[in-house]
Amino acid sequence: MGTFFHRHRGATPYLLLAPGVLWLAIFFVIPLAFLGYESLQSGLFPNFEFTWQFSNFSDGIRDYHTQLLRSFVYAGIATLACLVLAYPLVYWIAFRAGAWRNLFLLFIVAPFFVTYLVRTLAWLNILADEGPVVGILRDLHILGPDGRLLATTFAVVSGITYNFFPFMALPIYVSLEQMDARLLEAAKDLYASPIQAFIRVTLPLSAPGIVAGTLLTFIPAAGDFINAALLGTPNQAMIGNVIQSKFLESLDYPSAAALSFILMGLILVALLVYARIVGSERLTG
């Protein structure tokens, strides 16, 4: 093997890249090209014809801008909620948990040994009208006697937050864990208050983790449909639900494909805006 690589030194990078490139080609580029082809078709199932039907795109935006906007708002709130919840938690694990670090990390990941669908279904029981959470909130008069949590925006956003939490927590943990604690001592020596030290030292050093976590949370959350389907009502329908029903119920593959591209394009735009705000060097690491 060693002599093989030695003799074909020029081919080595190609050989090393081949599996990854092959993977991308088969599971991303080819399906994407097919989806693009499909998005410009017209007709009724199963007799679609390729007709450069660009109106699939304009119709998609016209008919479903509410759901598109809603998806981005929900995903944005959920991403923010994940950040606010995850940061202190992993900060504590990274700096204070000592020998128990791995155990606590396992606690973050453990629910994800159960499948996505079952985890979300569990929320149906937790938030049920006659369940314990609603009962307590009603007793505390936070919810009215007929108040409920299920089938509300709150339930859908909470479900998304819960389901994508580790994707935020783990990258932040990694960046915090790599931090040299002596930098904080140095900041203290230079008369920084704890808050100043956090803002000037810890936060910038953990920024790559925050950026990575934000992307890993926001992108799949914007296209999610399980949470809205199980925990919401039609008033919480996200663009993922529209695409799902176009593909599976109305068999309107061209519209579904066009909507998928619109979602992809909007996510890309959101990423570019985000990159401008946080600085592109942090997106690429």
Partner 1 sequence: MNPRLTRNELLRRGAAGGALLAFPSLLAACGGGGGDSSSSGEVNDVLNFSNWPYYIDTPDSLKAAGLTGVPTTLKQFETKTKIKVNYYEDINSNSEYFGTIQGRLRNGDGIGRDIIVSTDNDRYLGQYLNNDWALKLDKDLIPNISNLIPAQASPPFDPNREYTLPWFSGMDGIAWNEEVTEPITTVTQLLTDPKLKGRVGVWNSMGDTLGLIMLENGDDPAKVTDETFDRAIAVVQKAQDAGQIRRFYGNDYAQPLAKGDLAASMAWSGDIFLLNDPKVKWGIAKSGGIIFTDNMLIPLGGSVPTASTYMNFVYDPKIAAQLALGAGYISSVAGVKDEAAKLNPDAADNTLVFPTDEMLGQLHQNDPTMFSNPDYEKKWLAVQGK
Site residues for partner 1 per CB under 8 A: 9, 13-14, 17-18, 21-22, 24-26, 29-30, 44-46, 63, 67, 124, 128-130, 146, 148, 150-151, 232-237, 241-242, 245-252
What is the smallest separation between the CB atom of 275 and partner 1, expressed in angstroms? 19
CA distances from 61 to 111, 249, 258, 259 (A): 37, 20, 9, 8
Query: 119 and 163 in contact (C-beta within 8 Å)?
Result: yes
- Could you please report the per-residue DSSP string of 99-138? GGHHHHHHHHHGGGGS-HHHHHHHHHHHT-TTSHHHHHHH
Q: Which is nearer to partner 1, 193 or 280 (CB)?
A: 280
Q: Which is nearer to partner 1, 85 or 245 (CB)?
A: 245
What is the smallest separation between the CB atom of 12 and partner 1, expressed in angstroms? 9
What is the smallest separation between the CB atom of 61 and partner 1, expressed in angstroms? 15
Question: Tokens 């394009």 correspond to what residue?
Answer: 265
Query: 252 and 246 in contact (C-beta within 8 Å)?
Result: yes
φ and ψ at residue 42, rounded to 5 degrees: -140, 170
Question: What are the tokens at 33?
Answer: 């090209």
Q: Which is nearer to partner 1, 63 or 180 (CB)?
A: 63
Query: 116 and 196 in contact (C-beta within 8 Å)?
Result: no
Q: Look up residue 75 and give its amino acid.
A: A
What is the smallest separation between the CB atom of 131 and partner 1, expressed in angstroms? 8
Q: Distance (Å, rounded) from C-alpha 135 to C-alpha 137?
A: 6
Give the CA count within 13 Å in the CB-facing half-sphere of 86: 31
- Could you please report the per-residue DSSP string of 61-88? HHHHHHHHHHHHHHHHHHHHHHHHHHHH
What is the smallest separation between the CB atom of 225 and partner 1, expressed in angstroms? 10
Q: Which is nearer to partner 1, 129 or 177 (CB)?
A: 129
Helix (H) or strand (E) holding 39: helix 30-39
What is the smallest separation between the CB atom of 229 and partner 1, expressed in angstroms? 9
What is the smallest separation between the CB atom of 30 and partner 1, expressed in angstroms? 7
CA angle 32, 34, 39 (to 5 degrees): 95
Q: Which is nearer to partner 1, 88 or 285 (CB)?
A: 285
Q: Distance (Å, rounded) from C-alpha 109 to C-alpha 91?
A: 16
Q: Which is nearer to partner 1, 216 or 259 (CB)?
A: 259
Q: Which is nearer to partner 1, 49 or 189 (CB)?
A: 49
What is the smallest separation between the CB atom of 94 and partner 1, expressed in angstroms? 30
